[in-house]
């Protein structure tokens, strides 16, 4: 739980008792590679914090191709938050890319924290907003060519290169797997 607490304290202060309250509401969740954390068409039921592992957001486009939209790794929140809040069904899958250890909060527990910790809403919203902001900033830039997008991916996600299948990275970067393979060859 230490990682989670350290993460939270970036966004505001909590005393020991409040930290205990947060911990008491969280539960450990282990996901096996390819398990879903949440699914398209279903209402997201929990907020997660990744202690170990990689999760991706993905969906199927109208050609039936599977597209990876984002990667989330250690020490980050994982949740389709807007739909979690609105009790609306999600349009994408959140799927474990590797075996994962998470700390998760049910909707009930997550909401209770707002009632029992003064200032929790403030921390919570800063966390969620930073999360959304970073996703939009660390993603591939559409105006760059594929090689540049791959090089920036390596910079932004150095720890992912060897634990994520090439096909996921390819659809994330908007190129075919074959093109990405060729790009990697040309870089060396």
Partner DNA sequence: GGCATCATTTACCAAATGGTAAAAAGTGCA
Partner DNA sequence: TGCACTTTTTACCATTTGGTAAATGATGCC
Residues at the contact surface with DNA, assessed by CB under 7 A: 145-147, 165-167, 174-185
127 forms part of the interface with a copy of itself (CB under 8 A): no
**Based on C-alpha coordinates, what's the Rg of the chain?**
18
Q: By CB under 8 A, how many residues form the interface with a copy of itself? A: 27
Q: What angle do CA 104, 113, 135 make, to 5 degrees?
A: 55
Q: Which of residues 9-38 bind a copy of itself (CB under 8 A)?
A: none
Q: Which does 162 bind (CB under 5 to 8 A by kind): DNA, a copy of itself, none?
A: none
Q: Which is nearer to DNA, 106 or 179 (CB)?
A: 179
DSSP code for 86: H
Among 3, 106, 130, 182, binds a copy of itself (CB under 8 A): 130
Please choose, out of 34-42, 105-113, 159-167, 169-177, the segment that lies near a copy of itself by the rule CB under 8 A.
Answer: 169-177
Handedness of CA 6, 47, 12, 25 (dihedral sign): negative
d(CA 175, CA 186): 15
Q: In angstroms, what is the minimal distance from the CB of 89 to DNA? A: 27
Q: Which residues contact 86 (CB under 8 A, 6 or more apart)?
A: none
Taking the least distance from each CB to a copy of itself, the nearer of 29 and 130 is 130
Contact residue for a copy of itself among 120, 140, 153, 180 (CB under 8 A): 140
Quote the CA–CA distance of 155 and 161 in Å, as a whole number: 10
Q: What angle do CA 28, 169, 125 make, to 5 degrees?
A: 45
The reply on whether position 178 binds a copy of itself by CB under 8 A is no
């Amino acid at each position: 739980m230490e990682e989670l607490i350290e993460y939270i304290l970036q966004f505001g202060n909590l005393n020991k008792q409040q930290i205990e309250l947060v911990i008491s509401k969280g539960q450990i969740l282990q996901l096996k590679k390819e398990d879903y954390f949440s699914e398209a068409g279903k209402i997201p039921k929990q907020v997660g914090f990744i202690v170990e592992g990689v999760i991706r957001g993905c969906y199927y486009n109208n050609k039936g191709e599977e597209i990876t939209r984002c990667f989330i790794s250690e020490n980050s929140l994982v949740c389709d938050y807007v739909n979690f809040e609105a009790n609306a069904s999600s349009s994408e899958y959140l799927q474990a890319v590797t075996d994962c250890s998470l700390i998760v909060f049910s909707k009930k527990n997550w909401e209770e924290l707002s009632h029992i910790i003064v200032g929790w809403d403030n921390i919570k919203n800063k966390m969620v907003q930073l999360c959304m902001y970073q996703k939009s900033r660390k993603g591939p830039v559409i105006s760059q060519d594929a090689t540049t997008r791959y090089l920036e991916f390596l910079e932004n996600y150095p720890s992912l290169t060897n634990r994520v299948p090439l096909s996921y990275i390819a659809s994330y970067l908007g190129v075919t797997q074959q093109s990405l393979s060729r790009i990697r060859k040309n870089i060396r």
